[in-house]
Amino acid sequence: MTKEQEAALGLELATKRQEHADLDAAIATLAASHVADRMLIQRLKKRKLVLKDRIVQLETILIPDIIA
């Protein structure tokens, strides 16, 4: 993997982590308001899970599991 590819993946990882945190805050706020549409909250939770899966993929690529 080239340094450019590694940097691009690192940037994507940081972006996905931030988006995941933002979704977490949005879900918490909507759930606390008790006026939010339950379908909206479910869609946000699903998006959050997709992001988490991508974060794990990126971490696996960037930080390989080395068994010593």
- CA 63 – CA 49 distance, rounded (Å): 21
At 22, list the tokens: 């933002």
Is residue 22 a contact partner of residue 48, using CB atoms and an 8 Å limit? Answer: no
pTM: 0.85
Average pLDDT, stretch 33-48? 92
Confidence of residue 63 (pLDDT cuts 50, 70, 90): confident
CB within 8 A of 12, min separation 6: which ones?
A: 58
User: Which value, in Å, is the radius of gyration of the alpha carbons in the chain?
Assistant: 16
At 67, list the tokens: 């068994």
Give the rounded distance of the alpha carbon of 50 from its chain centre: 7
Average pLDDT, stretch 48-67? 90
